[in-house]
Structure 1
């Protein structure tokens, strides 16, 4: 499994671009579709705002830990050792998208969005050689999702 990875200014800029593009895509999708948030996000809507903010922070920090370790750590590393990095990035992205069928966004659109996101995170992982930057970028996406659910999609 990969460690945090070396500092790479090019990877940092790619991470920032991924954050901005991902946030814009999520906000545009949410405002256009006005979806019903997933149950765990609806639970946050029922809390006082200060507690909901703590819930968003917890969700944003904890959920990406296991997803990054599994998809960009173990799966990408092992798939790359068998089929090469390019195929591994695509396969882990497809699996990441499929794992988000019932996520937020959900359904086929959610799978495509999550798969595209997983592809970008896989590229970041290869670029930096570690999972720290993909994790940090993933945290921002989950923070945007939580914020959309609690503050906009009421």
Structure 2
């Protein structure tokens, strides 16, 4: 069996215990490496091809690109993300897709979406009020790039393409592999840490880690790949929509902090309800079997 074939299979925990640490590390990180390399190469090729196509062209398309550079960058990034998923598709089919929508219903997914909305809003309001986002030059640059895209393009990019791709890599493949290599208790923070570091600057890394922990727990309890995708998508769309025109800057500080705390407490209550719904789903699933 070839190296890539070996790395593509969903090996059971009993077999992974026999592997050396270096081989385990490659097994865990290769999906991210493949995605990252193909994604970046695709961006370079796409921008290079676009520049060649436009060289010497003073027409309408060039003028549009000059005026809408961030939107064009978002569109290229979306295509690159989709291309980045190609080398990991075989791994995803073996690791995550067998449990796609295994459990869950409209009610549980609705509660999950409400939790994602409350958590993302609450945490981002607190970050803003504490000055965490304002103090980071790297975060400001990322924010300018993200919110420079046309609103409709941003919704598709951050609400559909990015959540599916990132969940495929970090929960669908890496988390599933980590919990077989180690344990669920270790896989949750480790996968969340990797997810946070992937986002680069300190602020987004911290937010990514917090979100990663919650999403991994959601995935584990729901046993459905649809659940983390929904959570991630709603969280992204919520933050993008609310902050697109600097919506958080207009809030009174005391009101904002009170709202953030209320949202997080409400999210905690919804979380308890969601866990109960997952338990009911498990009992129903066992009974039906």
TM-score (structure 1 length as normaliser): 0.78
1:7 and 2:98 aligned: no
What is aligned with 2:198?
A: 99
In structure 2, which of residues 196, 199, 219 is the aligned counterpart of residue 125 of structure 1?
Answer: 219
The RMSD of aligned alpha carbons is 2.5
Tell me the alpha carbon deviations over residues 53-81 of structure 1, each in whole angstroms, 9 at most, x when there is no partner: 21221121110111001111000111111
Structure 1 segment 1-154 matched on structure 2, within 5 A: 1-2=95-96, 3-4=99-100, 5-7=102-104, 13=111, 16-30=114-128, 33=131, 35=134, 36=140, 38=142, 39-44=144-149, 52-59=150-157, 60-101=159-200, 107-152=201-246
Question: Whole-Å Cα distance in 2 between the matches of residues 151 and 54 of structure 1?
Answer: 14
Q: Which runs of 5+ in 2 are unaligned?
A: 1-94, 135-139, 250-289
Matched positions, count: 142
Q: Which runs of 5+ in 1 are unaligned?
A: 45-51, 102-106
Look up the SS of the partner of 1:7 in the other structure: coil
Question: Whole-Å Cα distance in 2 between the matches of residues 54 and 21 of structure 1?
Answer: 23
Closer, same or farther: CA 143–112 of 1 in aligned 2, 3 Å: same
Closer, same or farther: CA 74–111 of 1 in aligned 2, 3 Å: same
What is aligned with 1:49?
A: none
Question: Whole-Å Cα distance in 1 between the matches of residues 120 and 153 of structure 2?
Answer: 21
Query: Any conservation in 2 of the 1:11–1:128 contact (CA below 8 Å)?
Result: no
TM-score (structure 2 length as normaliser): 0.44
Tell me the alpha carbon deviations over residues 92-140 of structure 1, each in whole angstroms, 9 at most, x when there is no partner: 0010011012xxxxx3232121101000000000011122111111111
Question: Whole-Å Cα distance in 1 between the matches of residues 202 and 111 of structure 2?
Answer: 30
Structure 1 range deviating more: 28-37 or 92-101: 28-37
Query: Highest CA radius of gyration, 1 or 2?
Result: 2
Tell me the alpha carbon deviations over residues 4-27 of structure 1, each in whole angstroms, 9 at most, x when there is no partner: 231166676455324312222123
Structure with higher RCO (Cα < 8 A, 6+ apart): 1
